Amino acid sequence: MVWLIVILVLVGLAVITVITLYNRFVRLRNRVDNAWAQIEVQLKRRWDLIPNLVETVKGYAAHERGTFEAVTSARTAAQQARTPAEAAQAEGILGQALGRLFAVAEAYPELQADENFRQLQGELTETENRIAISRQVYNDSVLTYNNAIQTFPGVVLAGPFGFAAREFFETDDAQREPPQVSFTPGTPAS
C-alpha cells in the first residue's frame, strides 16, 4: 500500500512538472512572438515615414535619383522579409540607404532648414530608437526562451511538444559598416 502511494505521488509530481514546463514554454514562446510583433510595428512606422522623407528631399535634390531608387527598393525588400534573419539583412541595407539619403540632404542647407524635413528626420530618429529597443527586447526574449528549451529538464520535453529554438535578430558584419558617401563629381556613393 505504501508503495502504491509513493508511486502515485511520483507520477503526480511528474505530471505537475510536465504541465509547469509546458506552460512556461508557451508563455516564453508567446513573449518572443509579442516582441517580434513590436519590432514589426516599429518597422512599419519607419516604412511609412520613408516615402514622405524621400519626396521632401526630392524637392531639393532631384538629380540624386540613384539614392532615391536605392531607398525605395531597400524599403520594398524590408517589407517583404519574413524571418528575423531576412528582416535583419533587409533592414541593414535600408539603414545604409537612409544614411546615404541623409548625407545627400546635408549638401542642401535650404533642405536642412525645411520644417517638414526636420520633423520627418526627427520622427525617423525616434523610430530608429524604438526599433533598437524593440530588437533588444526581442533578442532578450529569444535568449530566455532558447535557454528554457535547451537546458535540463526543458530539453527533454521541448522537442516532443514541438518547441524549437528561435533565431536572433542580428546584422551581418557588412551591414555594421557606415555608408561611404562622397560629393566629389565622378565618385559613386556606396
Q: Any idea what the CATH number is for the domain that residue 117 is in?
A: 1.20.1440.20
Residue 156 forms part of a structural domain: yes
Q: Structurally, how many domains does the chain consist of?
A: 1
Residue 20 forms part of a structural domain: no
Residue 112, domain extent: 31-176
Residue 21 forms part of a structural domain: no
Residue 104 forms part of a structural domain: yes
Rounded to an integer, what distance in angstroms lies between the CA atom of residue 169 and that of residue 39?
A: 10
Residue 183 forms part of a structural domain: no
Residue 25 forms part of a structural domain: no
Quick: pLDDT tens for 125-180: 999 999 999 999 999 999 999 999 999 999 999 999 999 999 999 876 545 454 44
Rounded to an integer, what distance in angstroms lies between the CA atom of residue 118 and that of residue 38?
A: 26
For residue 158, give Cα distances in angstroms to 79, 85, 143, 144: 32, 23, 15, 14
Could you tell me the pTM of the whole model? 0.81
Residue 161 forms part of a structural domain: yes
Tell me if 149 sits within 8 A of 11, measured CB to CB. no
Quick: pLDDT tens for 168-178: 998 765 454 54
Rounded to an integer, what distance in angstroms lies between the CA atom of residue 190 and that of residue 88?
A: 19
Quick: pLDDT tens for 66-93: 899 999 999 999 999 999 999 999 999 9
For residue 90, give Cα distances in angstroms to 31, 87, 97, 118, 122: 24, 5, 11, 25, 22
Residue 22 forms part of a structural domain: no
